[in-house]
Structure 1
Amino acid sequence: MEAIILSVQQYKELVNRLDVLNKKLEENQKSPEDTFLDNQEFLQLMNISKRTAQTWRDDGIVSFSQIGSKIYYRMSDVQKLLDKNYKKAFKPNKRDYTTNI
């Protein structure tokens, strides 16, 4: 087996190139937003019935793709649905009942 000897500078350049390649590979990997869920996965994720999913599709609440009888949902569309219906936490009014009137 042959051994290759690198200077410290050559080693650092090699490591830097590997880091750059690794970052590019990570960027090119499929993001979760581009993932598709089939109907069963969507039902489980949202913890809803088939009928509720059908109603949401019919009412335009969630976007979907259909190929034959198979239904698919884009994860980014599910995220939009959740974001659209997001209710920010609020601080309830605390009344001071200790003061005498």
Structure 2
Amino acid sequence: MEAIILSKSQYEVLLKKIDDLRNSLDEKQKSPKDVFVDNQEFLLLMNISKRTAQTWRDEGIVSFSQIGSKIYYRMSDVEKLLEKNYNKAFKSVKR
């Protein structure tokens, strides 16, 4: 086994890089509820048109944030929308 010797400053730089990497991984593993998607991602995710998304916003079906002309949706709100409209499978009766 080969030994590697680092100076104190090199060791501190290495520790900082490890901390940065850990923070980056923590950020990427954030709960999907904390993530926002823009309108285009929402359209693709829900497989709907721009007009349908506009109607849903106008009717209060889905919550959103708007900055200028840019629209964002919180993933937790998208999940709520899907849960609210969830229909449980029913057992068909065969005769």
Q: How high is the TM-score relative to the length of structure 2?
A: 0.70
Query: Does the alignment pair 1:68 with 2:68?
Result: yes
For 1:31 and 1:83, the matched residues in 2 are separated by 17
Label 1:71 to 1:94 Cα distance change in 2 as closer, same or farther (>3 A): same
Label 1:70 to 1:2 Cα distance change in 2 as closer, same or farther (>3 A): closer
Q: CA RMSD in A?
A: 2.2
How many Å apart are 1:91 and its aligned residue?
Answer: 0.4
Look up the SS of the partner of 2:90 in the other structure: coil
Look up the SS of the partner of 2:91 in the other structure: coil
Structure 2: unaligned runs, 5 residues or longer: 6-21
The one-letter code sitting in structure 2 at the alignment partner of 1:33 is K
Task: Give the paired residue count.
Answer: 75
How many Å apart are 1:2 and its aligned residue?
Answer: 7.3
1:60-98 residue CA offsets vs partner (Å, 9 max, x unmatched): 000000000000000000000000000000001111xxx
Q: Which runs of 4+ in 1 moved over 2 A?
A: none
The one-letter code sitting in structure 2 at the alignment partner of 1:30 is K
Q: How high is the TM-score relative to the length of structure 1?
A: 0.66
For 2:86 and 2:43, the matched residues in 1 are separated by 19
2:54 alignment counterpart: 54
